[in-house]
Every structure is written in structure tokens, then in C-alpha cells.
């Protein structure tokens, strides 16, 4: 009888452990934070809904701060990871571009973030972006190289373009893209976010697979 009870308890404990919800922190700026959008329409809740629709038992933690740069992300990465998430999405660099911050500085800050994650053996998805051409060809080449090179150096997953869904839907046509942007012409609206989530969702699933290995 005692053995039967012990077996039942062990089985219940094992089932509970298997059913534990994974937690993934999304470290980013206003694109992650959900700037200008009603609650439920932003990047994190739409990703949460997309993953749930795929049957994934995951909680996505919104660690986005509007206006944040890669330096801001590097300064708060330890705090972001203090409650022990199972994985990390890093989506920073847009505000570095808006401010014309040197690519070398952006690279140093992202390197620090990835070093902290590596020290915790934390699976990471690095989300890149493309620099516009208005800073010159050298700037664009240096900035665009940051994300694939760091992903290779730290062996992280890479989603090369945070706006990939919108670019695919519009053929990179700026006039067509306006239908997926808020009135400020910078931040995606609900429909734009949905396109970007559909593009990144499978890569987040690959991150989940890494966590569960």
C-alpha cells in the first residue's frame, strides 16, 4: 500500500514538472513594449496568443522599455533575468539607429547582454534589424553585420529582421508599408505587429525547442 501511494505521489510530481509553463523574457524597446497600442494588441500579447494557438505552454514576459537603446538593455539585463526566465529574446537597436549611435557601441552593448545570458546558460533568440541608408554605406554595412556575427559568435538563434513580416507583405515598398504603421510612421499598428509575429513565431518555437532539450 505504501509503495502504491509513493508511486502515485511520484507520478503526480512528474506530471506537474512536465506541465510547468516555460517563461521567456523579451528584452527590447518600444516595439516590444507595445508603444501606442491598446492592451492586447502589442508585440508580446500577440506573440503569446500566436504561441498558444500552436499549443505552446509558454509565458512571454514583457521586458520592453520605450526609447531604450542597446546601452539601456545592457544596463538592465541582470535585473531582467533576476527572476530566472527559461529563455531570452533580445530585440534592441532601433533607437541606436534613430540616434545615429556608432555601430561599434551597439555591438559592445549587445555583446554584454549575450555574455550575461551565456553566463547563465540561457538559450537566446537575437532579433536583428536593417540600418537605413541615410548614414552612409559604411555605417549600414557595419550595423547590419552586428546581428549575424554575434549570433555566430555566441551560438544563438537569429531572426535577422524584426520587421520581416511587414517587408514581406509590402515588398519593402514604403508607401504600402504605411497601412501597417501607426500615425507616427515608425511603430507598427496592430496589423503590422501581426505580420511580424507570424514571421518570428516559428523561430521562437525553435527557441522553445532549445529550452526543452
Of 83, 138, 183, 184, which one is the catalytic site residue?
184
Catalytic pick from 30, 96, 159, 162?
A: 30
Q: Which of 29, 159, 187, 209 is catalytic?
A: 187
Reply yes or no on whether 30 is catalytic. Answer: yes
Report yes or no: 99 and 67 within 8 Å, Cβ to Cβ.
no
Report the interhelical angle of 190-212 vs 43-53 (nearest 10°).
60
What's the distance, Cα to Cα, between the start and end of the chain in Å? 36
Closest CA to 154 of 112, 183, 182, 192: 112
Catalytic residue status for 187: yes
Annotated catalytic, 159?
A: no
Residue 57: left if φ>0, alpha if ψ -120 to 50, beta else—which one? Answer: beta
Active site residues: 30, 184, 187
Amino acid at each position: 500500500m505504501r509503495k502504491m501511494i509513493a508511486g502515485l505521489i511520484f507520478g503526480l510530481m512528474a506530471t506537474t514538472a512536465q506541465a510547468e509553463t516555460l517563461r521567456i523574457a523579451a528584452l527590447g524597446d518600444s516595439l516590444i513594449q507595445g508603444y501606442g497600442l491598446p492592451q492586447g494588441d502589442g508585440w508580446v500579447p500577440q506573440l503569446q496568443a500566436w504561441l498558444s494557438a500552436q499549443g505552446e505552454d509558454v509565458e512571454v514576459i514583457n521586458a520592453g522599455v520605450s526609447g531604450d537603446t542597446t546601452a539601456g538593455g545592457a544596463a538592465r539585463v541582470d535585473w531582467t533575468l533576476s527572476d530566472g526566465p527559461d529563455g531570452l529574446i533580445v530585440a534592441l537597436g532601433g533607437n541606436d539607429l534613430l540616434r545615429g549611435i556608432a555601430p561599434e557601441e551597439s555591438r559592445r552593448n549587445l555583446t554584454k547582454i549575450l555574455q550575461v545570458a551565456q553566463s547563465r546558460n540561457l538559450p537566446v533568440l537575437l532579433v536583428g534589424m536593417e540600418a537605413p541608408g541615410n548614414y552612409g554605406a559604411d555605417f549600414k554595412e557595419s550595423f547590419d553585420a552586428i546581428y549575424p556575427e554575434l549570433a555566430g559568435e555566441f551560438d544563438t538563434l537569429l531572426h535577422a529582421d524584426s520587421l520581416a513580416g511587414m517587408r514581406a507583405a509590402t515588398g519593402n515598398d514604403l508607401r504600402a508599408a504605411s497601412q501597417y504603421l501607426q500615425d507616427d510612421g515608425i511603430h507598427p499598428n496592430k496589423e503590422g505587429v501581426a505580420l511580424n509575429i507570424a514571421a518570428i513565431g516559428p523561430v521562437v518555437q525553435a527557441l522553445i525547442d532549445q529550452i526543452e532539450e
